[in-house]
Amino acid sequence: MSHRIIRILEKKLSRKTWDNWFTTLEIKEITGDKVIFKVGNLFVKDWLQSRYGKVIHRAIQEAIGKDLPFEIIYESPSKDAFEPEEYKGPLVKKKPLLLSELNPEYTFENFVVGPENRALFEVAQEIARSPGKFNPFFIYGGVGLGKTHMLQAIAHRIIELYPEKRVLYITSERFMNDMIEAIRGGSIRDFREQYRKKADVLLIDDIQFLIGKEGTQRELFHTFNELHDAGKQIIICSDRTPDELNGFPDRLISRFQMGMVMEIASPSKETRYKIAKRLAIRESVELPDDVAMELARRIDGNLRRLRGAIIKLIVQSGIYKEEIDLAFARQIIGSFQTDSPRVRALTEVDHLIKAVEKVMGVTREEIMGVSRTKNVVKARQLFIYILKQEYGKTVQEIAQLTGKKHSTVIHSIKKISNSVLRDNKYIKDLISEINNTVATDFAAS
Ligand code: ADP
Ligand code: MG
């Protein structure tokens, strides 16, 4: 019999939402201060976390009478079913010292290499074979081109080859939050110890997040120097080149430039075709050639969008019990094929606009317009923030899409980010309610 939390969840959700997303969710463990769920699909995990956090919280509260935080972890179902604990190989096998969670799908094996990124791929593999050789390694490129995937692939490979090495992967945002927390809690020495003494390989994702955050940059500079001087490999990702990191101290920029700096390029249509096929296989689905070609043709650049379209295809084909063929694919990705880029972009985020309208009680015209009414301004800021956070849009893209000035877009993102960082419950609830509404409408459309 399933756990009470699961049964309550089932009651709270619509049949459709339940069937689409929740049937594989299980309780792994309930400790004194946390509920741990497990799920056998990474996409479902992300989706549940980002869209259904609120209702999961309510179910926990109702079931056990306490407002415990929860965590959802991914556990490969095949491993569970076929590899019971006793058969896991020799007992003395060293457990890799992983200091951070990595996405098991972000491997070199899953990284499709076209001519555009062949050199980068070779260097990355070489770095994994000989950590410290090109130090630091700095990868830059646009949103959704595979930076995080590449970074984690290097981490996975190093762990495989050198299980004794302590590999630490973090986003720079996490670095900053850990640091702030350590300062507040009076444990900055432990913090430094963890980063500077305990890591043999440090991978920092999205370093551009630290633009304008001088305190964190300074801390990072010391961490960097200490590790680098000790010959520890450092790998950094950014959406821009080192010298475009405005406001970073020159000494830090020049240290980044000392090693190997490489761009991750946008994949060609041929490469996108292969990536589409691989992304589908990651979801255990085989895409017909003509469908993959259509996707590669219609969706350029940002691979998160390509992945989003594939997931959408898979989910919808499941709901409608339709086969994924070219006609069905065209129908689903039709929203990517309108004439002007602005219209195309707007269609793509249509669900989000509707959700903001619904949750905030404002109209589309107000969101896109110039009204300074308090509630409208809030709605607009939330819309912009979610476009950035959930849809991976750049400031540039958001400015085009909304017809707002760059400075307005940046201000909105900052405003909401600050509220989130300060744990503003009102704003956080609005965000998750909007996301939930998108998910519900999305599943129903
Ligand atoms: P970035 O960090 O640059 O924004 P991500 O690493 O998050 O991009 O990549 C977005 C998605 O596209 C991920 O699901 C990733 O696995 C996938 N992806 C990116 N590049 C490739 C590639 N060359 N082959 C296969 N999948 C890729
Ligand atoms: Mg990334």
Assign 3-class secondary structure to 223-266.
HHHHHHHCCCEEEEEECCCHHHCCCCCHHHHHHHHCCEEEECCC
pTM: predicted TM-score of the whole model, two decimal places? 0.61
- Assign domain 269-337 to a CATH class: mainly alpha
User: What kind of architecture, by CATH, is found in domain 115-263?
Assistant: 3-Layer(aba) Sandwich (3.40)
430: exposed, middle or buried (Cβ count in 10 Å: 0-12, 13-18, 19+):
buried
**Ligand-binding site membership of 89 (annotated):** no
154: exposed, middle or buried (Cβ count in 10 Å: 0-12, 13-18, 19+):
buried
φ/ψ of residue 362, rounded to 5:
-125, 170
270 touches 235 (CB < 8 A): no
> Looking at ligand 1, which atom is closest to the CA of residue 117?
23
Pocket test for ligand 1, best of 106, 149, 204 (most atoms within 8 A of CB): 149
d(CA 182, CA 202): 19
CB count, 10 Å around CB of 105? 18
> Looking at ligand 1, which atom is closest to the CA of residue 110?
25
Q: Which residues of the chain have pLDDT under 50?
A: 79-97, 337-339, 445
For this complex, say whether ipTM is above 0.85.
yes
Read off the pLDDT of residues 354-410 as tens digits, 9 standing for 90 and up.
889 999 989 888 898 888 889 999 999 999 999 988 777 888 889 888 888 889 999
Domain over 4-82 is classified CATH 2.30.180.10 = no
39: exposed, middle or buried (Cβ count in 10 Å: 0-12, 13-18, 19+):
buried
> Looking at ligand 1, which atom is closest to the CA of residue 306?
12
DSSP lists the bridge partners of residue 203 as 169, 235
**Ligand-binding site membership of 147 (annotated):** yes
96 touches 268 (CB < 8 A): no
pLDDT value, residue 41: 67
262 touches 117 (CB < 8 A): no
Q: Could you tell me the distance, in angstroms and rounded to a whole number, from the CA of residue 44 to the centre of ligand 2?
A: 19
Do the strands 34-39 and 26-31 form a parallel or antiparallel pair, or are they unpaired?
Answer: antiparallel
Q: Could you tell me the distance, in angstroms and rounded to a whole number, from the CA of residue 149 to the centre of ligand 1?
A: 5
Q: Give the domain ranges of the chain.
A: 4-82, 115-263, 269-337, 342-444
Residues 6+ apart with CB under 8 A from 55: 9, 12, 13, 436
Q: Which CATH superfamily is domain 342-444 in?
A: DnaA protein, C-terminal DNA-binding domain (1.10.1750.10)
What's 4-40 look like in SS3? HHHHHHHHHCCHHHHHHHHCCCEEEEEECCEEEEEEC
26 touches 38 (CB < 8 A): yes
Amino acid (one-letter) located at 439: A
Read off the pLDDT of residues 233-251 as tens digits, 9 standing for 90 and up.
999 999 999 999 988 989 9
pLDDT value, residue 174: 87
Which residue's CA is the closest to the ligand 1 atom numbered 26?
111
Q: Could you tell me the distance, in angstroms and rounded to a whole number, from the CA of residue 151 to the centre of ligand 2?
A: 9
Residue with tokens 């219209």: 343
Q: Could you tell me the distance, in angstroms and rounded to a whole number, from the CA of residue 275 to the centre of ligand 1?
A: 9
Best CA proximity match to 306, nearest among 276, 348, 329: 276
> Looking at ligand 1, which atom is closest to the CA of residue 264?
3
Pocket test for ligand 1, best of 109, 138, 303 (most atoms within 8 A of CB): 303
pLDDT value, residue 43: 60
pLDDT value, residue 433: 87
d(CA 126, CA 409): 40
